[in-house]
């Protein structure tokens, strides 16, 4: 780990994605009780806390690889994977929504994506806390 800020940054990312998950769970609750204000609050919280960790994740990707030129590639890989999933999510999400209906399908997709992001953030925090380093990056 190159930076003393890794652990606090990943702790903040973990908190933000957990809050995004909490707000995503409020989506089906707000639909079930037919509360437009709660739905608006849950969408706002999901978008706010779901987008917040992007800068920290990009910073970690740039800092994780040695050298200036390699950092550019690290950032490119991070952005490619991030936006690749953004392109894949509507395709898979559309199939889930077609199978379960708009209300239930939308909730299933959003909560499932938030769970995956939480697991990835937990893994990144664990790696930063335990100083896990890829052997290929030590060259």
What pLDDT digit, counting tens, does each position of 80-95 carry? 887 888 888 899 999 9
Query: Could you please report the per-residue DSSP string of 54-119?
Result: HHHHHHHHHHTSSSHHHHHHHHHHHHHHHHHHHHHHHHHHHHHHHHH-HHHHHHHHHHHHHHHHHH
Token code pair at residue 94: 């559309």
At residue 89, the pLDDT reads: 86
Q: Answer whether 117's CB lies under 8 Å from 17's CB.
A: yes
Q: Answer whether 109's CB lies under 8 Å from 89's CB.
A: yes
At residue 83, the pLDDT reads: 83
At residue 71, the pLDDT reads: 66
Cα first-last separation, the chain: 14
What pLDDT digit, counting tens, does each position of 108-130 carry? 999 998 998 888 888 878 877 77
* Listed residue (119, 110, 71, 70) closest to 92, CA to CA: 110
Tens-level pLDDT at each residue, the chain (139 residues): 466 777 888 888 899 999 999 999 999 999 889 999 999 999 999 999 988 887 777 777 777 666 666 667 777 777 788 788 888 889 999 999 999 998 889 999 999 989 988 888 888 788 777 766 655 445 4
């Amino acid at each position: 780990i190159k930076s003393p800020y890794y652990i606090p940054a990943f702790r903040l990312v973990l908190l933000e994605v957990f809050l995004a998950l909490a707000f995503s769970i409020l989506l089906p609750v707000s639909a079930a009780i037919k509360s437009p204000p709660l739905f608006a609050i849950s969408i706002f919280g999901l978008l706010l806390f779901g987008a917040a960790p992007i800068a920290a994740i990009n910073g970690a990707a740039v800092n994780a690889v040695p050298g200036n030129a390699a950092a550019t590639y690290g950032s490119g890989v991070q952005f490619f994977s991030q936006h690749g999933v953004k392109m894949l999510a509507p395709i898979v999400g559309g199939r889930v929504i077609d199978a379960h209906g708009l209300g239930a399908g939308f909730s299933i997709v959003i909560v499932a994506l938030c769970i995956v992001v939480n697991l990835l953030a937990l893994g990144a925090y664990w790696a930063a806390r335990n100083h896990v380093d890829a052997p290929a990056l030590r060259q």
